[in-house]
Amino acid sequence: MARLNSSFARVVAAWVIGLHVILLPALYYAVGYVIKTSHEDLFVENARTFARVLADEFELGVAMESASRTEDLLDVAIVHGDGRYAELIEGVNSTRSKLNSPNVNVSRSTDLHFDEDGDDVYFVVLPIVHGTRNAELRLGFDEQPTLERVHMAQRHLLWLLGSYFGVAIFIAIVLSNRLSRPIQRLQDVSRAIASGEYSQPLEISTGIRELHDLAADLEAMRSELVGVNLRLQSQIREKEASEMRREELQKQLRQKQRLETVGTLAGGVAHEFNNVLVPIILFTDMALQDLPERSAARADLERVLGAARRAKDVVRKILTFSRELGDSKLTAIDMRAVIAEGLNLLKALGPPSIEIHTEVSDTIPAIRADATLALHMVVNLCTNAFQAMQGSNGVLTIGLRSAAGHKVEFWVQDTGHGMTVSTVERIFEPFFTTRSVGQGTGLGLSVVHGIVESFGGIIKVESEPGKGATFRVFFPAFSEHADGSVGLGE
Amino acid sequence: MHRVLIVDDELDVRDAVKRVLERAGYTVEAVESASEALESLRHTNVDVVITDIIMPKVNGVEAIHEIRASFPRVKIIAISGGGNFGITAYQPSAITTTAYLAAAERAGAHLILTKPFESSDLVRAVESVLGVGHA
């Protein structure tokens, strides 16, 4: 298995073929040799026995009495002994059978070996002693029939071994394929698993027990992997979700901290301002009383007093943002009534180019709020929407419905110019405004934020530049617990 | 002639209130702290005390307690600007000026006036605690 690119089937086939290429010729030669020598031995034995019998007949019989009798006996050797040549030599006289083959090479009459020199004749030479006469009997036997039998046997052997070789290779290939196909499949599957593809169950059919067990083990491993993977994936999803929740909470916390800082600052500034406004208002008031009715300074001082009163309103709004909500009392209120009242105001306030739609559900739980502040919130959000749609036709949608988690959702949607992410992040800061100077104080939405927080609600903004904006407010639905305390949902 | 004592740590507020009430015909004394106010109450016959709530050293609520205890006949008006004072705005339990004013009311202040106020508001407030109608 030195070459890594050899498949199992090829290796088995190569070994089978290699072994047979070496062993089969050796077997062929060994068996062929045995066949040939056994036939040769039989042939030589027969030839010699026949020659001995014929020699006995010459020595003991009357064949030597006359030339014709000698010739007859020699003919017997040709006819009955498979002879090709028969001759009796006595001194210089020689008698030959008339049936002798003409093409026998007599000079090779001393050939005492089977199948030699290619003349197909086997010679046997025997001395004859008949009384006082000495002669020599020369017999040539035909090797051809025996050689043909040998060759035929060898051809049969060759066919037999060849067929065996073919069958052996066929069986080797079939067997190795039966082995290697499931192994190949197992390999494919384990590669797929290694590369992360293990959703498909293993389907390996094999009659080989070891491979079946291996496939079963692999399938068990695969399904375990699937389980582990599913667990890991759900853990990762959980982790991601909790990470997102954490980030969202951190973002909310940062936002809250920033608003708290600004709120604290605003509250402190408001206090100082109020102290500054007291002498401005009172001294201006007194100066006005001292001035004659038609005086130039009087008009100026009235402007000062007007400005001081506007400053007082601004400070009140800052205080609303920083939760200085005065004597606001939270009671169970119906937001539908607040919206209905707000709509009456908005119809008077809103530009005629803007359509107002309402999507108010019929059954809405009460919320714990202050009705005046809630109206303030509705009007401020809608005023903000009007300003976002200024100078164009637009649709303002006011909605109210129950939301998941025992909450009431109130939303105001406009089709105005929308906001960038950085604007959305700062939208609730006091004095943050995208409008030009003089078109708004930048306090409206910070006041809304203060009001929503004071009701225990949260406010969210969805907006993209050019795609309008939606302000969603979620209030805890009002419910009274058995102990009389007021629950605020979640 | 009714005598009014104004207690505020801000000079401008003190002077403005003093001038407005003097114009309205009251005798007004202005001091900048609760201890000075108590000292003054011991020596003069004061009818109305107008006190700020947020002041250094002794705050207005404590001052109201003491005045109510020592001089029960004196009428008290508590004044304060809004806002909070370093206490986080989003803590519901935070003691804010509103809470201080409420505390002042509980301590016995007869009237609460939030800054800023108009001259007429101030005069009306003093008349109101003295039980005199507008002349």
Instruction: Tell me if B119 and A278 make a contact (CB, 8 A cut-off).
Output: no
Q: Which of B10, B86, B118 sits opposite A275 (nearest CB)?
A: B10
Centroid of chain to Cα A232: 16
Which strand (E) or helix (H) includes residue B78? strand B75-80
When mean pLDDT is compared across A260-269, B57-66, B119-128, the lowest value belongs to A260-269
Residue A86, strand partner residues: A139
Q: Which of B81, B117, B119 sits opposite A286 (nearest CB)?
A: B119
Q: Which of B10, B83, B88 sits opposite A319 (nearest CB)?
A: B83
Instruction: Tell me if A278 and B54 make a contact (CB, 8 A cut-off).
Output: no
Min CA distance, A439 vs chain B (Å)? Answer: 26
3-state secondary structure chain A: CCCCCCCHHHHHHHHHHHHHHHHHHHHHHHHHHHHHHHHHHHHHHHHHHHHHHHHHHHHHCCHHHCHHHHHHHHHHHHHHCCEEEEEEEECCEEEECCCCCCCCCHHHCCCCCCCCCCCCEEEEEEEEEECCEEEEEEEEEECHHHHHHHHHHHHHHHHHHHHHHHHHHHHHHHHHHHHHHHHHHHHHHHHHHHCCCCCCCCCCCCCCHHHHHHHHHHHHHHHHHHHHHHHHHHHHHHHHHHHHHHHHHHHHHHHHHHHHHHHHHHHHHHHHHHHHHHHHHHHHHHHHHHCCCCCHHHHHHHHHHHHHHHHHHHHHHHHHHCCCCCCCCCEEECHHHHHHHHHHHHHHHCCCCEEEEEEECCCCCCEEECHHHHHHHHHHHHHHHHHHCCCCCEEEEEEEEEECCCEEEEEEEECCCCCCHHHHHHCCCCCCCCCCCCCCCCCHHHHHHHHHHHCCCEEEEEECCCCCEEEEEEEEECEECCCCCEECCC
Nearest CA in chain B to A451: B90
Instruction: Tell me if A281 and B118 make a contact (CB, 8 A cut-off).
Output: yes
Give tens-digit pLDDT for B72-89.
Answer: 999 999 887 765 443 333
Inform me whether the pLDDT recorded for A65 exceeds 90. no
Instruction: Tell me if A264 and B84 make a contact (CB, 8 A cut-off).
Output: yes
Nearest CA in chain A to B9: A275
Residue B115 forms contact with A (CB below 8 Å): yes
Which residues of chain B make contact with A280, given a CB cutoff of 8 A?
Answer: 116
Q: Which residue has the higher pLDDT, A434 or A36?
A: A36
* Sign, Cα dihedral of A344, A350, A353, A359: negative
Q: Which of A259, A268, A283 sits opposite B83 (nearest CB)?
A: A268
Query: For residues B66-81, b (16+ Cβ closer than 10 Å) or e, as one string?
Result: bbeeeeeebbbbbbbb
Inform me whether the pLDDT recorded for B92 exceeds 50. no
Largest CA distance in chain A: 203
Which residues of chain A have a Cβ shorter than 8 Å from any chain B Cβ?
A: 256, 259-260, 263-264, 266-283, 285-286, 289, 308, 312, 315-316, 319, 322-327, 453
Instruction: Tell me if B12 and A279 make a contact (CB, 8 A cut-off).
Output: yes
Which residues of chain A make contact with B118, given a CB cutoff of 8 A?
Answer: 281-282, 285
Residue B85 forms contact with A (CB below 8 Å): yes
pLDDT reported for residue B96: 47
Give tens-digit pLDDT for A297-322.
Answer: 998 999 999 999 988 888 877 766 65
Residue B27 forms contact with A (CB below 8 Å): no
Residue B17 forms contact with A (CB below 8 Å): yes
Instruction: Tell me if A271 and B81 make a contact (CB, 8 A cut-off).
Output: yes
When mean pLDDT is compared across A272-276, B97-101, B121-125, the lowest value belongs to B97-101
Instruction: Tell me if A283 and B10 make a contact (CB, 8 A cut-off).
Output: no
Which residues of chain A make contact with B87, given a CB cutoff of 8 A?
Answer: 264
Average of pLDDT values for A193-207? 77
Share of chain A above pLDDT 70, in %: 86
Q: CA triplet A80, A82, A85: central angle to 5 degrees?
A: 105
Nearest CA in chain A to B11: A279
pLDDT reported for residue B82: 60
pLDDT reported for residue A391: 74
pTM beyond cutoff 0.80: no
Which residues of chain B make contact with A282, given a CB cutoff of 8 A?
Answer: 16-17, 19-20, 118-119, 122
Of residues A102, A115, A116, A111, the one with CA closest to residue A139: A111
When mean pLDDT is compared across A32-46, A301-315, A422-436, the lowest value belongs to A422-436
Give tens-digit pLDDT for A318-364.
Answer: 766 655 444 456 788 899 988 988 888 787 767 788 888 999 998 88
Distance CA A38, CA A34 (A): 6
Q: Which contacts qualify for B20-24: CB closer than 8 Å, 24 or more apart?
A: B20/A282, B20/A285, B20/A286, B20/B119, B20/B122, B20/B123, B21/B122, B21/B123, B21/B126, B23/A286, B23/A289, B24/B123, B24/B126
Q: Which of A259, A285, A453 sits opposite B118 (nearest CB)?
A: A285
Distance CA B38, CA B57 (A): 14
The mean pLDDT of chain B is: 81
Distance CA A488, CA A375 (A): 20
**ipTM for the assembly:** 0.85
Instruction: Tell me if A278 and B115 make a contact (CB, 8 A cut-off).
Output: yes
Min CA distance, B93 vs chain A (Å)? Answer: 12
